[in-house]
Structure 1
């Protein structure tokens, strides 16, 4: 699979908003690194992370604005947006993805976590859903 085909499949997985849409893109030992959650290892942990994220922001969308590739890596950048605690939330994101045999070996998400934390603090309606996603991972 070419890098362009991978980006299209990754973008389509986000359009579907289904954690299972991502699992075919992952190597069995995939590693996900993100600033607001512990790092995950393996497809099941990665799927659970995606499910928690989609539960917290059920209308979450990733508008891909561009991508570049080289040296076995793909950079995808854009904006995530949705509704959290009854109001809109939006933040820029860059994903650095290491591919092996056309599958994600590692994904590192780069974004400012203060956008999410600030939104959570200012919106009490988001507190219980956030706590449920945190407790659900145990």
Structure 2
């Protein structure tokens, strides 16, 4: 896949809110790196991470605002937004995708985790759903 294809398919996968929508984009040994979660290795762990994220914020949406590519990488910047603990949440982020053989070999998400932590602290209704996503981790 080319960079524009990856961007389109990555954004489309987010609109489906289905962890399985991402797996065709990932290499079998994909690595996901995030500020608020442990790093994942492989499609199974990546799918589990996406499922946990989507269960915490079921209406989560990714609004792509732009992208660039070069040297085997694609940068996508935009914002994630949804509802957590009965109120809105949103944060800007940049995803750096390292491609191999036209698939995502590594995704590094760059964002300020304090945005999410602050919402969690202020909204007790979000505590139990958040703890559930932590407990299903391997």
Q: Is 1:86 the equivalent of 2:86?
A: yes
CA positional deviation for 1:2: 1.3
For 1:29-108, what aligned pairs fall within 5 Å after superposition? 29-108=29-108
Count of aligned pairs: 138
Secondary structure of 2:90's counterpart equals strand
Which TM-score applies when normalising by structure 2? 0.99
Segments of structure 2 that go 5 or more residues without pairing to the other structure are none
Q: Deviations over 1:58-88 (max 9, x none)?
A: 0000000000000000000000000000000
The corresponding residue for 1:21 is 21
CA positional deviation for 1:30: 0.3
Secondary structure of 2:22's counterpart equals helix
CA positional deviation for 1:137: 1.1
CA positional deviation for 1:39: 0.2
Distance of 1:117 and 1:6 partners within structure 2 = 30
Secondary structure of 2:59's counterpart equals coil
CA positional deviation for 1:89: 0.2
Which TM-score applies when normalising by structure 1? 0.99
Distance of 1:30 and 1:5 partners within structure 2 = 18
CA positional deviation for 1:6: 1.0
Secondary structure of 1:37's counterpart equals coil
The corresponding residue for 2:10 is 10
Secondary structure of 1:35's counterpart equals coil
Q: Deviations over 1:79-131 (max 9, x none)?
A: 00000000000000100000001101000000000000000000000000000
